[in-house]
Amino acid sequence: MRGDQEDLAGLLSGNKTSWDAFVARFSGLILAAVRRVVGTDGIDVEDIAQDVFVRLCKDDFRLLRQYDPTRAGLSTWLTIVSRSVAHDMIRRRRAPTQPIELTPEAAFAVEPNITEKIKIPDGLLSPRQRLVLTMIYERDMEVAEIAGTLHIDAQTVRSTHHKAMLKLRAHFGEKP
């Protein structure tokens, strides 16, 4: 409808009056769509409806800007969005959770250092490139710290790192 487009234009420009009118006009529709999904699941319908409105205005109305009037009417689109939010909320509530104390320690295991897994062929990297990679990945040093240690510019460290990574990617078959 033409009125929907005009209402949305004011809404997307940040007009508070337009937002208030939008909420008043569509809150019943959104509540009904959420209620239909939730049913008697014990979830507060008003909370989910509030979440729908938050998602619509989040990030400068990013979701609302995605509305395409050539594909569906605004009421239909809002119903679909509302149902989607309600389904997401139900899924989140049903997802099994457990206290961190009960989680096995193995779940927190960290992979061994990648340099231990990959054998870099001799001669592939220059001595400086190998040194910079060692300092970054094995010693966990920052670029500025490496630059100070080697008495070179920080940009040289970044450039050396970048060139070494390009060589490694080419050698191991990954496109840069």
The mean pLDDT of 44-57, rounded to a whole number, is 90
Does residue 110 surpass a pLDDT of 70?
no
Q: How far is CA 166 from the centre of its chain?
A: 27
Label residue 113 by pLDDT band (50, 70, 90).
low
**Confidence at residue 163, expressed as pLDDT on a 0 to 100 scale:** 94
CA-to-CA distance for 115 and 133, rounded, in angstroms?
9
Does residue 40 surpass a pLDDT of 80?
no
**CATH 1.20.1540.10 describes domain 2-94:** no
**Confidence at residue 61, expressed as pLDDT on a 0 to 100 scale:** 87
CA-to-CA distance for 5 and 111, rounded, in angstroms?
52
Buried b (16+ CB within 10 A) or exposed e, 67-80: beeeeeebeebbbe
**Confidence at residue 33, expressed as pLDDT on a 0 to 100 scale:** 93
The mean pLDDT of 113-121, rounded to a whole number, is 63
pTM: predicted TM-score of the whole model, two decimal places:
0.52
Task: From 40, 34, 31, 28, select the one nearest 88 (Cα to Cα).
Answer: 34
The mean pLDDT of 51-57, rounded to a whole number, is 91
Helix, strand, coil percentages, rounded to 5, for the chain: 70, 0, 30
Tens digits of residue pLDDT in 1-35 = 446 676 788 888 888 888 899 999 999 999 999 99
Provide the residue type at 88 as one letter: D
Task: From 132, 111, 128, 130, select the one nearest 119 (Cα to Cα).
Answer: 130
**Confidence at residue 3, expressed as pLDDT on a 0 to 100 scale:** 60
Q: Crossing angle, helix 74-94 and helix 45-65, to 10 degrees?
A: 120
Provide the residue type at 86 as one letter: A
Where exactly are the structural domains of the chain? 2-94, 109-172
**Confidence at residue 175, expressed as pLDDT on a 0 to 100 scale:** 52
Bigger pLDDT: 162 vs 119: 162
Label residue 128 by pLDDT band (50, 70, 90).
very high
| Distances in whole angstroms, Cα of residue 92 to Cα of each of 22, 85, 89, 102 | 28, 11, 5, 20
For 53, phi and psi rounded to 5 degrees? Answer: -65, -40
Q: Retrieve residue 68's tokens.
A: 């395409």
Fold of 109-172: Arc Repressor Mutant, subunit A (1.10.10)
Q: Retrieve residue 55's tokens.
A: 């998602």
**Average confidence score pLDDT of the chain:** 83
**Confidence at residue 115, expressed as pLDDT on a 0 to 100 scale:** 44
